[in-house]
Amino acid sequence: MAKILVTGGAGYIGSHTTLALLEAGCEVVVYDNLSTGRAEAVLPPARLVVGDLADTDRLDALMAEEGFSAVLHFAGSIVVPESVENPLKYYMNNTNNTTELIRLAVKNAIPRFVFSSTAAVYGMPDTPAVTEDSPTKPINPYGRTKLMSEWVIQDTAAAHPGFTYVILRYFNVAGADPAGRIGQCTPNATHLIKVASQAALGRREALHIFGTDYDTPDGTCIRDYIHVADLAAAHVLALRHLEAGNPSGVFNCGYGHGYSVREITAAVKRVSGVDFPVAESGRRAGDPPALISDPSRIRATMAWVPRHDDIDAIALSAYAWEKKL
Ligand code: UD1
């Protein structure tokens, strides 16, 4: 049975992937400092080790002791505006810690590394649908720290043939475990579907739409929303892909089509049955008008087939979880 180290496994995407790994028969050790994650999100038989990525001695000892066959690296900081105000936090938490983690993985001869990257590496794309070969021109420190980490991974793999990787570039991750066991708990989350669910539950006065004058059909931004359970499944496939000896690579994770902020608002109203107040506000800095994946590569290479590509189902699972919180 493969024994996997999951950094950030108490967080939103890491905890859902941990569940998928357990269901695929893996043994999982989660390493998380619980800065934004929650211990309750790590369901047994996964084991939680509370520790900081910056504590490299501890990580080194853990790797030497456990003999992992792969690292899935989720831990990191993800809030774009915060990265603009506090870039050093992002360069330390993301690029620095990832570099140390890779150094330790090589030192401990862990052969496989799966990395959480982001569509933010593309910046303001020239075309709405981006392939993995589209130019990477991040427009904020968050995107740059993730792109730098990608380079560290790729350069390391080139120099160390025993080190293989899959880099997954996530588009807009949303929803919760369809069985209702876990969901997004991140405090002060800024994600549209979560915020809209909070508005539907009366926990926010209104949903603010950031910008209604974009060059899109209804004037609001378009994003490619992917259900967290489909993203978790992609991680399991990525692991299998490397275990089977396939080449390392970079893969977009999205559905290949998008919804506007107004369409998402309507979906959350539909599934919740609540006509919550919506306010039209000015644009938020750094938002590209449209960001949609071309997911051809992951579909062709890993036979990834999304099972939850339904915006109402995504909105409903997010809303049901929010209600439970
Ligand atoms: C999200 C991710 C980012 C990732 C990117 C990739 C988070 C916090 N953000 O960013 O890490 O790189 O996807 O595509 O995980 N909006 C409103 N009102 C709100 C909240 C959002 O109108 O209250 C709008 C935003 O302006 C944007 C859209 O909804 O146009 C989506 O916003 P958000 O959910 O914050 O995600 P992204 O900024 O796309």
Q: Quote the pLDDT of residue 81.
A: 84
Q: Please state the pTM of the whole predicted model.
A: 0.97
Higher pLDDT, 186 or 237: 237
Q: Whose CA is nearest to atom 2 of ligand 1?
A: 172
Closest atom of ligand 1 relative to the 207 alpha carbon: 23
Q: Quote the pLDDT of residue 80.
A: 86
Q: Whose CA is nearest to atom 14 of ligand 1?
A: 171
> Could you read off the pLDDT of 176-206 as tens digits, one per residue?
999 999 999 887 888 999 999 999 999 999 9
> Could you read off the pLDDT of 67-86 as tens digits, one per residue?
999 999 999 999 888 999 99
| Positions marked active-site | 142
Q: How far is the CA of 171 from the centre of ligand 1 (A)?
A: 10
DSSP code at position 53: T
pLDDT band at 96 (very low <50, low <70, confident <90, very high): very high
Q: Write the CB contacts of 46 (distance below 8 Å, at least 6 apart in sequence).
A: 6, 9, 18, 21, 22, 28, 29, 30
Q: How far is CA 298 from CA 33, 147, 155, 174, 252, in A?
A: 31, 19, 22, 19, 7
Q: Is 228 in the pocket of ligand 1 (CB under 6 A)?
A: no
* Domains in the chain with CATH codes: 3-174+225-253 (3.40.50.720), 192-223+256-290+307-324 (3.90.25.10)
Q: Is 190 in the pocket of ligand 1 (CB under 6 A)?
A: yes
Best mutation site among 77, 124, 192 for ligand 1, i.e. most ligand atoms within 8 A of its Cβ?
192
- Name the nearest CA neighbour of 287 among 215, 227, 231, 217: 215
Q: How far is the CA of 287 from the centre of ligand 1 (A)?
A: 8
Closest atom of ligand 1 relative to the 146 alpha carbon: 12
Q: Which helix (H) or strand (E) holds 70?
A: strand 70-73
Q: How far is CA 70 from CA 49, 163, 166, 199, 269, in A?
A: 16, 10, 11, 40, 41
Cα separation, 31 vs 150, in Å, equals 21
Q: Whose CA is nearest to atom 25 of ligand 1?
A: 210
Cα separation, 30 vs 13, in Å, equals 12
Q: Is 95 in the pocket of ligand 1 (CB under 6 A)?
A: no
Q: Is 19 in the pocket of ligand 1 (CB under 6 A)?
A: no
Q: Quote the pLDDT of residue 1.
A: 74
Q: Is 240 in the pocket of ligand 1 (CB under 6 A)?
A: no
CA atoms within 13 A on the CB side of 128: 14
Q: How far is the CA of 121 from the centre of ligand 1 (A)?
A: 14
Q: Is 239 in the pocket of ligand 1 (CB under 6 A)?
A: no
Q: Residue 145 above 90 pLDDT?
A: yes
